[in-house]
Amino acid sequence: LCNLHTSCTYTVIMSVVSISRDGGNQAEVHLHGATLTSWKVDGEELTFVSRDAVFDGKKAIRGGIPVVFRNNGGVAELEFVSLTCCCLVANFGPWELGPQHGFARTSTWKLLEPPVQGKPVAVFELEDNEQTRAMWNYRFKVRYTVSVGERQLDTNLDITNTGDQPFDFTALLHTYFRLPDISKTTVSGLNGCTYLDKVHKDHKTEGRDLVSIAGETDSMYEATSSVHRITHGAGGYTFVVTKRNLPDTVVWNPWADKAKAMSDFGDDQYVNMICVEAGHVASRVLLPPQQTFSGGQTITLEKKQNL
């Protein structure tokens, strides 16, 4: 990580943890939701955060990398799809017992381990409390580790069942990538995968080697490749996403009409972002007492392209 020619520092200002590998390589994480809201390499911002995002300590932050845990979808969606994909719909989406996409992204996390000199890594923790148990009466501990490397960002979830009863869950790293122009961007690693097209309420099989976006997209892909390449990202970089124990991938862009309908999303900002989200959403993880589930992603930058 750091050596004699680099430095690692951190600051906490207004509940924001800044992790710096050196002057131009750093990340920022809000304790609200443990949401990563900035990742810069050589001073170039690589994550997308809406200019209308709300930072009130209550609403989920629109952008960066929100942590999605624990979340089950609503039954109302099942009527639109065949029995073969009911599992997908039932495990991800609106949750009648709590906030959409679960309570982790709207909870206040604790900074468990701050970065130290020579190690630009921060560990955040969320444990069950009265509020979470009112929605979901189980005991748990989630540790979220954020590491800043050279042209690399690593985020990892360790979810532990600290109670005496098994529980199930879905989880997702809801990553927003910053783009200059969505029309030029492609995503690899999805060809041949079955997916739920939530926009058209249909179950499909992906036939494209490189998936491009030309309209509203909300697709949940099952059993995807462990590596995705997202071309024409911010600064001309290609983002290479390598997943660990997160078998599924969600691809999302609201497009023009939905962007206008979202109060915390700029009307024209859909052009400058794509969500490619590593998760465990096609099936629920069943976690026995005193056991831990681990999953994460590493985002690596490839050389710049001519835009």
Active site residues: 174, 277
Please state whether beta strands 211-212 and 217-221 pair in parallel, antiparallel, or not at all (unpaired): unpaired
3-class SS at 256? Answer: helix
Q: Alpha-carbon distance 265 to 221, whole Å?
A: 24
**Alpha carbon distance, N-terminus to C-terminus of the chain:** 31
Query: Token pair for residue 265?
Result: 């999303």
Paired with 295 in beta bridges are 157
Beta-carbon contacts of 220 under 8 Å, excluding residues fewer than 6 positions away, are 88, 92, 195, 196, 198, 248, 249, 250, 281, 282
What string of DSSP letters covers 38-85? EEEETTEE-B-B-TT---SSSSPPSBSB-EE-S----GGGGGGS-GGG
